[in-house]
Amino acid sequence: MTSERHSTRDQLIGADLLTLAMLSPARLASIFDLAAAVKADVRPYGESLRHKTAILIFEKPSLRTKVTFEVGIHRLGGTPIFLDQSASRLGERESIRDYGKNLERWCQFIVARVHSHRSLEELAEHARVPVINALSDRFHPCQALADLFTLRERLGSLEGVRLAFVGDGNNVCHSLMHAASLLGVDTTVVTPPGYAPAEDVTRECRGFAESSGATLNITHDTAAVEGHHAVYTDVWVSMGQADQAAKRRRAFEDFRVDAAMMRLASRGIGREALFMHCLPAQRGVEVTDEVIDSPSSVVYDQAANRLHVQNALMLRLLGAVGE
């Protein structure tokens, strides 16, 4: 990042949010505290984004991200404008620089769901208004905010919490690792060989974990889920990976989250482990119906909390509430 808007982890007002690595643990905690307040009663914040317009640029299909941002902006008094870029990616019809230079003159912030993280970085570099990453091939920060907020809400605190991610070391995994390592949550990532998280993200998270006192374990052994408060998984075949579907399903076959894995995770923690998924889920593939529909599943709480953490994030980035 070259802009001063990206240079400090202690400044949120007017900044971009492309990855959670841009935030300090204190800033993450402040977003969670505000999200809890907004969730409890949104009425005091109902005029906070009045006369503010957000551009929602989506290159990929969406349910939770699109609806929660549009509903959230409305509830805070702002106006969302949706731009469907699924037929023409950013940079094809006109340069991303020109796109950003135009949008910054009409709106107060941009929410972008893109194929390439580089497109997001370029947009943020040239637009003088905050850019929020609503998903890229590298990171999914808003999802991870909702995930850790949900864990804090369900467990009462993140102190001593152990989280296991089972599956593909993808964008969801990357942002989950960021959030967990920054907030001191011990994390175990279990993937098939060849599908581990990116090395640069792992190095970054090990540094965060060292500072927060957390542990980060990357392994290929599913037995490592034992003694974790939550087990998280994601689809094995993401958008744009259809040509790899058969290969991926073979590689991940032994990594399905089922009742036996959840019992193993629950061992020694004094309660049933929670099941987490960012959705959409391929039922019977990466998770069984028995698990995703069980009382210990918090997948719909995660989806609901996308609304509240994103509202808090927007309020912070736009300086609509005091620190």
DSSP state of 32: H
Question: Is 243 considered catalytic here?
Answer: no
| Catalytic option among 278, 302, 308, 310 | 278
> DSSP 3-state assignment of 105?
coil
Tokens of residue 144, six digits = 């991870």
Is 283 assigned a catalytic role? no
Query: How far apart are the C-alpha atoms of 102 and 180, rounded to whole Å?
Result: 36
First to last CA, the chain: 25
Q: Tokens 């374990």 label which residue?
A: 217
**316 φ, ψ to 5°?**
-70, -45
Q: Nearest CA to 144 among 178, 183, 118?
A: 178
One of 5, 6, 140, 174 is an active-site residue; which one?
Answer: 140
Is 142 part of the annotated catalytic residue set? no
At 218 the three-state DSSP class reads: strand
Tokens 């999200």 appear where?
Answer: 35
Active site residue 143: yes
CA 304 vs CA 143, 292, 299: distances in Å: 11, 16, 9
Q: Of the residues 143, 147, 168, 178, which is catalytic? A: 143
Active site residue 75: no
Catalytic residue, from 5, 126, 306, 308: name it: 306
DSSP characters over 3-22: SGGGS-TT--TT--BS-GGG
Q: Which of 137, 147, 186, 234 is catalytic?
A: 234
The answer to whether 244 is a known catalytic residue is: no
**Alpha-carbon span 69 to 89, nearest angstrom:** 21
Which entry of 113, 126, 162, 256 is annotated as an active-site residue?
A: 113
Q: Which residues are catalytic?
A: 113, 140, 143, 234, 278, 306
